[in-house]
Chain A
């Protein structure tokens, strides 16, 4: 059960971040040329790989209870950030993430930027692609490493991330347009729920708690987090409707 959660969480979180990175890389490639942009993607991938290779083994030597305490706390903070934004988006208090709009903005900015060319490389395109992949990838690397090490299987978490990379990059290369049809907001909601669930479970375990029912408690926490999030979305939707109605009447 934990293994399924592990792969699914890693896959979803990675897919969401990779869709965002793909939008930036496509804008950089179309506006500034593919050679510079793909070199930026390659450089960022190498840096991320070094981070994973260096930090991965280092994490495995930390005692599991300490690791789960720190990782659980961080995942819970991360999960709440994702879930908070997802709740605000689902209830209409925050604009939905729109890859088409982001792509159009990135493309315009990339076209308007001045030429920074030397030795056949457009360094603006390189920097844009590098930054996009690096920033989005860092979160993926963090999730893969922390999930994997806390669950005792970095390769399993990496497999989930690799599957997301193959699917998102494959579709991206085939269609060469932002993946706007991916249900990104729903996926972010799911990732927020999973990070929060694992965060609660591991941070409590790391603090010395013995969960009733052991690993089965994960399912109860998961159901509880989903329930609370859905109640919050419905409550905020009602609040938004009543605010809109009051605005019209005033």
Chain B
């Protein structure tokens, strides 16, 4: 059990890192982009805007 927990913790740290908000924000932005393109809207602008927004939020959280 200890090893499984350590294994999970390693991958969480490796992929998600210090702030889960960045990972969650990226997933939400990708899903929203996919939904919009599925509805025939070429939402090329969404990922850059979301990327900047999430970066701003995660940096802000770290400096509060």
Binding site for B on A (CB under 8 A): 69, 72-74, 76-77, 80-81, 83-84, 87-88, 93-94, 138-139, 196, 199-200, 203-204, 206-212, 217, 221, 224-225, 228-229, 232, 236, 239
Contact = CB atoms under 8 A, between A and B. Distances in A.
A138 B16 CA distance: 15
B33 A76 contact: no
Nearest to B33: A207
Interface of B: 14-19, 22-23, 26-27, 29-30, 33-34, 37-38, 42-44, 46-48, 51-52, 54-56, 58-59, 62-63
Nearest to B24: A77
Q: Which 6 A-B pairs have the closest CB atoms?
A: A208-B37, A204-B47, A207-B34, A207-B33, A81-B17, A80-B22
The secondary structure that dominates the B interface is helix
Contact of B34 (A83, A208, A217): A208
B33 A209 contact: yes
Residue among A84, A87, A206 with the highest chain B CB neighbour number at 10 A: A84
A207 B27 CA distance: 11
Contacts of B30: 69, 72-73, 203, 206-207
